[in-house]
Chain A
Amino acid sequence: MAGTATQKAGTEPTRRDFIVVAAGAFGAVGAAAAVWPFIHQMNPSADVLALSSTEVDLSQIAAGQSVTILWRGKPVFVRHRTEAEIELARKDDTAALPDPQKDADRVKKPEWLVMMGVCTHLGCVPLGQKGDFGGWFCPCHGSHYDTSGRIRKGPAPLNLPVPDYAFLNDTRIRIG
Chain B
Amino acid sequence: MADNNSGFFANPLVKWIEYRLPVFSTLDHMVGSQYPTPKNLSYWWNFGSLAGLCLVIQILTGIVLVMHYTPHTAMAFDSVEHIMRDVNYGWLLRYMHANGASMFFIAVYIHIFRGMYYGSYKAPREILWWLGLIIFLLMMATAFMGYVLPWGQMSFWGATVITNLFSAIPLVGEPIVTWLWGGFAVDNPTLNRFFSLHYLLPFVIVGIVILHVLALHQHGSNNPLGIDTKGPQDRIPFHPYYTIKDAFGVGVFLIFFSFFLFYAPNYLGHPDNYIPANPLVTPEHIVPEWYFLPFYAILRSVPDKLGGVLLMFGAILILFVLPWLDTSKVRSAKFRPIYKQLFWVFLIACIGLTYAGGQPPEGLALVIGRACTIYYFAHFIILLPLVGWFEKPLKLPASISEPVLKA
A residues neighboring B (CB under 8 Å): 39, 42-45, 48, 68, 70, 72-75, 117, 121-125, 139-142, 154-157
A43, A73, A125, A154: the one within 8 Å of B303 (CB) = A154
Q: Which residue of A lies closest to B307 (CB)?
A: A155
CB distance from B335 to the nearest CB of A (A): 43
In the complex, whether B160 has a CB less than 8 A from a CB of chain A is yes
**CA gap between A73 and B184 in the complex, in Å:** 7
Asked whether B280 lies within 8 Å of A155 as measured between CB atoms, the reply is no
- Name the A residues within 8 Å of B284 (CB-CB): 139
In the complex, whether B286 has a CB less than 8 A from a CB of chain A is yes
CB distance from A49 to the nearest CB of B (A): 9
Q: Which residue of B lies closest to A139 (CB)?
A: B284
- Name the A residues within 8 Å of B306 (CB-CB): 157
**CA gap between A141 and B369 in the complex, in Å:** 13
**CA gap between A157 and B304 in the complex, in Å:** 8
Asked whether B179 lies within 8 Å of A156 as measured between CB atoms, the reply is no
**CA gap between A121 and B166 in the complex, in Å:** 11
Q: Which residue of B lies closest to A156 (CB)?
A: B305
A44, A124, A125: the one within 8 Å of B183 (CB) = A44
- Name the B residues within 8 Å of A68 (CB-CB): 280
Binds A, one of B14-22, B50-58, B74-82, B185-193: B185-193
Asked whether B280 lies within 8 Å of A121 as measured between CB atoms, the reply is no
- Name the B residues within 8 Å of A125 (CB-CB): 280-282
* Interface CB pairs A-B, < 8 A, 7: A42-B193, A70-B279, A72-B185, A124-B282, A125-B281, A139-B284, A157-B304
In the complex, whether B140 has a CB less than 8 A from a CB of chain A is no
- Name the A residues within 8 Å of B164 (CB-CB): 121-123
Asked whether B362 lies within 8 Å of A142 as measured between CB atoms, the reply is yes
- Name the B residues within 8 Å of A39 (CB-CB): 179
Q: Digit string of B185-207 for contact with A (CB within 8 Å is 1, else 0)?
A: 11101000100000000000000
In the complex, whether B178 has a CB less than 8 A from a CB of chain A is yes
CB distance from A9 to the nearest CB of B (A): 34
- Name the A residues within 8 Å of B180 (CB-CB): 42
Q: Which residue of A lies closest to B161 (CB)?
A: A122
B161, B279, B286: the one within 8 Å of A73 (CB) = B279
Q: A44-B178, A142-B361, A155-B302 are in contact. List 6 more A-B contacts (CB 8 A).
A: A45-B182, A48-B187, A73-B279, A121-B164, A139-B360, A154-B303
Q: Which residue of A lies closest to B287 (CB)?
A: A140
Q: Which of B157, B182, B185 has the most CB of A within 10 A?
A: B185
Asked whether A43 lies within 8 Å of B282 as measured between CB atoms, the reply is no
**CA gap between A39 and B308 in the complex, in Å:** 28
CB distance from B183 to the nearest CB of A (A): 5
- Name the A residues within 8 Å of B182 (CB-CB): 42-45, 48
- Name the B residues within 8 Å of A121 (CB-CB): 164, 305
- Name the A residues within 8 Å of B302 (CB-CB): 155
In the complex, whether B165 has a CB less than 8 A from a CB of chain A is yes
**CA gap between A142 and B178 in the complex, in Å:** 24
Q: Digit string of B303-320 for contact with A (CB within 8 Å is 1, else 0)?
A: 111101000000000000
- Name the A residues within 8 Å of B361 (CB-CB): 141-142
- Name the A residues within 8 Å of B187 (CB-CB): 48, 73
Within 8 A of A (CB), among B150-167: 157, 160-161, 163-165, 167
CB distance from A137 to the nearest CB of B (A): 11
Asked whether A44 lies within 8 Å of B279 as measured between CB atoms, the reply is no
Asked whether A75 lies within 8 Å of B280 as measured between CB atoms, the reply is yes
**CA gap between A48 and B284 in the complex, in Å:** 29
10 pairs of A and B residues whose beta carbons are closest in the complex: A73-B185, A122-B164, A123-B164, A124-B282, A122-B161, A125-B282, A72-B184, A123-B160, A48-B183, A74-B185
**CA gap between A121 and B161 in the complex, in Å:** 9
**CA gap between A156 and B302 in the complex, in Å:** 11
Q: Digit string of B366-391 for contact with A (CB within 8 Å is 1, else 0)?
A: 00000000000000000000000000
- Name the A residues within 8 Å of B167 (CB-CB): 122-123
B161, B281, B303: the one within 8 Å of A140 (CB) = B161
Asked whether B286 lies within 8 Å of A124 as measured between CB atoms, the reply is yes
In the complex, whether B94 has a CB less than 8 A from a CB of chain A is no
- Name the A residues within 8 Å of B282 (CB-CB): 124-125, 139-140
Instruction: Known contacts A123-B160, A156-B305; decide if A141 and B300 are in contact (CB<8 Å).
Output: yes
Asked whether A74 lies within 8 Å of B304 as measured between CB atoms, the reply is no
Within 8 A of A (CB), among B125-184: 157, 160-161, 163-165, 167, 178-184
In the complex, whether B285 has a CB less than 8 A from a CB of chain A is yes
**CA gap between A23 and B161 in the complex, in Å:** 45
- Name the B residues within 8 Å of A154 (CB-CB): 303
- Name the B residues within 8 Å of A72 (CB-CB): 183-185
**CA gap between A56 and B2 in the complex, in Å:** 78
Asked whether B279 lies within 8 Å of A75 as measured between CB atoms, the reply is yes
Asked whether B305 lies within 8 Å of A48 as measured between CB atoms, the reply is no
- Name the A residues within 8 Å of B185 (CB-CB): 72-74
Asked whether A124 lies within 8 Å of B193 as measured between CB atoms, the reply is no
**CA gap between A42 and B286 in the complex, in Å:** 27
**CA gap between A75 and B303 in the complex, in Å:** 25
